[in-house]
Structure 1
């Protein structure tokens, strides 16, 4: 099986931690910057000034998230790249919303709360295939003893992850009509930095939900928070959009997230149907898989995600008949265990659910054209 790149920070201050990370991963950070600069222009509906929006992102990050700004500045210094380029990476969802607010389908998430057991929390991370080798598992110790483990891209401070406090965050992109207003109203709090903030600071589910609802975003996303121990847990999904936030609670101990708004607050402006039917199909597939019984292990969820329906398949492979810059695929399958000892809370498998170890007939053919569902 392909090894997941991993790095553990050895310094605690945000700027020094960033410098260390940048020095260790200078080539990877530079490649990520170049990949996203190409993607911003390719995805844009018209002319798109990357440097202008990168400068704007850096200004907004310094205003809204000064501790994150220190770390971003450190990564840029360590990697020898412009700080505005690292700011653009950390606001890549927001810049993509400016370039083209309609977006694409993305990840699928399942959280189950079986009685008397730790929560089961799994997601596919679907993204542009050009970033297939542009991510790692990063372990981040903090001065007070908290340890954060995150799956993220080189240069981004965080994404999917879990803390030693037993709080995990899963990530799904959404698309809302109000996202287009970022070009006029300016970039809001970058959602990837919000995910890292929750991992760094949230004490429990209620604290994480309150923090997420308190920020103004300019690009819609869903952050699903999981809190739990060996005897049970809680979960909720915060659906963020520029006009506010809604909260999706589990039903019957099950919460399934794809890429459309489910809560009432954002439903009217949801753009998922303009992209295609994939998000709704994927959610129905996963809800149906556990209609009779909640999954008790991550392996049961991953097996259900090994779905290659021609339209709305959960496990995504590139449609190679399209522009390679826009190929999409499931880049990783991630499971969180909020009750495990630190260092064992994050299980990551490169590729989609069909690439899981022990699959009897091996992974599906990654070259066959499919409508992606992520």
Structure 2
């Protein structure tokens, strides 16, 4: 997978969208074509996909008009139809209409008197999103953000310069696809733009209707104290799972909240429990201070299920692989990553992009 880098040069969101769209027209078109193919393979008819995307547009215009303006600019800059951009932004909500997808393992350690130490894998379709982007943005309120995402999405894994970082895992619930809602990737961007605490992030999550489920694991540092919580969101409700007494929080792709877990939905064989147990059993590794060393340690676990490889016995649209391993420096407002699984860290380039600094390589 290729991970591009992009820095905004304006806080005018529509102009930034136009500039981004013009620069990445090829990638946006390729993403649109790939997702249209995936939707069809997954059994979502084109009219249903476009209706869901339009519902997501309307909800975003109501609850996050500045993000909707960015996508208007992106469509204009790329010469794609606006509805094509929304097909990408709403891909989770569209896939929630049919067979959901597996994605991601996250662990956050909360040391005493020091910033959180985090790690996430991003598992996605082998055939999709083989070009992605890490974006540096500065909002109209002055908040600096650096976030990894697919083309056509406003955010996914990221950190702001207000002491907050966010990891992102997909979840599946029986209420998915039952109502219009703000896309979960838009919600992630709203939190990165507006929040500095878990309480603020939770308030933002509770303030919008949703059409699909995810967990946003939020880690914070105020200069003295670190904290973390998994904000589990579904159209049917929201729950907050705080970092436990052991000070390490683990999440994969099943609900931890008992009430939301009662509506769990997964029609296929999932590896969420083996990946969860792997992280719990190796929780002490999350305490390693240096980001790359932490990723290396998890990558050295023999046959660890958090390194997902595509299965050739599955059809193309059901082959998942670990495409990214990422850590967040909440105190330094930086995202570090490798384009690959934890087992690939030792042989791949480790990259770091901070909110206010140029990209660095190690």
Fold match (TM-score > 0.5) = yes
Alignment-derived partner of residue 254 in structure 1: 248
Alignment-derived partner of residue 354 in structure 1: 343
Does residue 220 of structure 1 match 2:213?
yes
Q: Any residues of structure 2 matched to 1:101-120 within 5 Å, and which?
A: 102-120=99-117
| Residues 57 and 84 in structure 1, CA contact (< 8 A), matched pair in contact too | no
Does residue 154 of structure 1 match 2:151?
yes
Q: How many residues align?
A: 346
CA distance in 1, matches of 2:306, 2:285: 20
Equivalent of residue 317 in structure 1, options 309, 312, 335: 309
Q: Any residues of structure 2 matched to 1:237-316 within 5 Å, and which?
A: 237-251=230-244, 252-272=246-266, 274-290=267-283, 294-298=287-291, 299-305=293-299, 309=303, 313-316=305-308
Deviation at 1:231, TM superposition (A): 4.4
Alignment-derived partner of residue 168 in structure 2: 171
Deviations 1:17-65 (A, max 9, x none): 1001001111111111111111111112677643333333323332332
Which 5+ residue runs of structure 2 have no aligned equivalent?
A: 349-362
Q: 1:120 to 1:293 in 2, by over 3 A?
A: closer
SS at match of 1:331: strand
Return the TM-score normalized by structure 1.
Answer: 0.86
Alignment-derived partner of residue 325 in structure 2: 333
Return the TM-score normalized by structure 2.
Answer: 0.89
Deviation at 1:132, TM superposition (A): 4.2
SS at match of 1:207: helix
Deviation at 1:313, TM superposition (A): 1.2
SS at match of 2:176: helix
Q: Any residues of structure 2 matched to 1:40-189 within 5 Å, and which?
A: 40-44=39-43, 49-98=48-97, 100=98, 102-181=99-178, 185=179, 187-189=180-182
SS at match of 1:177: coil
Which 5+ residue runs of structure 1 have no aligned equivalent?
A: 360-374
Deviation at 1:180, TM superposition (A): 4.3
| Residues 9 and 17 in structure 1, CA contact (< 8 A), matched pair in contact too | yes
Q: 1:259 to 1:3 in 2, by over 3 A?
A: closer
The CA RMSD over aligned residues, in Å, is: 2.2
CA distance in 2, matches of 1:293, 1:257: 13
| Residues 129 and 150 in structure 2, CA contact (< 8 A), matched pair in contact too | no
Deviation at 1:202, TM superposition (A): 0.8
Deviation at 1:125, TM superposition (A): 0.7
